[in-house]
Amino acid sequence: MTTIFITGCSSGFGRATAQLFLDRGWNVVAAMRTPREDVLNGGPDRLRVVTLDVTDTDSVRAGVEEAIGAFGGVDVLVNNAGVGFFSPLETTTDQTIRHLFETNTFGVMAMIRAMVPHMRERGVGIIVNVTSSSTFAPMPLTAVYAASKTAVDGLSEALYFELAPFGIQVKMVEPGYGPGTAFSTNAVALNDESSIPVAYQAHAQHLMGALPSESTSAGDVAEGVFRAVTEKGPTLRFPAGPDSVAIAQKRATLSEEAFLEKQRDIVGHPQR
């Protein structure tokens, strides 16, 4: 594998992942809605920055065509572009719900649909979908975001089997909470004044205080993607970041009742 195509590279997880692969000798096609050549260090012989909006079908098609042509083919597709959100479901507008699904879920589907014919014809390829620890440990006030990412989890597991006969591997990288990225900033920016009504304020403040001390860095995610791409074997899910790894281990080893009890302790709401 020599060429990787990554969406959402202008900052955060995508930027760190693109830079790591560049540093390790890969050809990188870095997709951004608003291209910036200055965010990555790599010469034109191994870096191509392309304009791509995952919510726009024509943009996806054009971006994939440019990526394939840049280095003669794409070996790995990383669906990283995404947006966060933090709000009760009852006050989340239809527009916001659709925006999250258009980016986090339908955008991933669009990228895969555009790339699979190329990989299938070559008989080889890897697709890595960056999801979230919310797919196995969703927290209060993240219902819409968790739903959009959990849909990608189901999509990925189905495609893990569906695309295997064509030599295409599907994997997931599952970051934890990343306060040092633009992702968290965007999650707050989407909220308006009525997003967290008075009835939820105390709950929201408790959750903010309960955020993990060991959170996920952009470097954790970049290393997680590199591991998913290069590690041999049938592994589908790759938790990334100490908080994600810890909670994935709890989910795997505890009974459903014990796990939910621990989560209730974290969120501060005993079962009624």
Which residues are tagged catalytic? Answer: 145
Query: Using CA atoms, how far apart are residues 74 and 122, in angstroms rounded to an integer?
Result: 10
* DSSP per-residue codes, 122-157: HT-EEEEEE--GGGTS--TT-HHHHHHHHHHHHHHH
Where are the extended beta strands (E) located within the chain?
3-6, 27-32, 47-51, 76-79, 125-130, 168-175, 237-240
User: What residue type is assigned to position 18 of the chain?
Assistant: A
Query: Using CA atoms, how far apart are residues 144 and 148, in angstroms rounded to an integer?
Result: 6
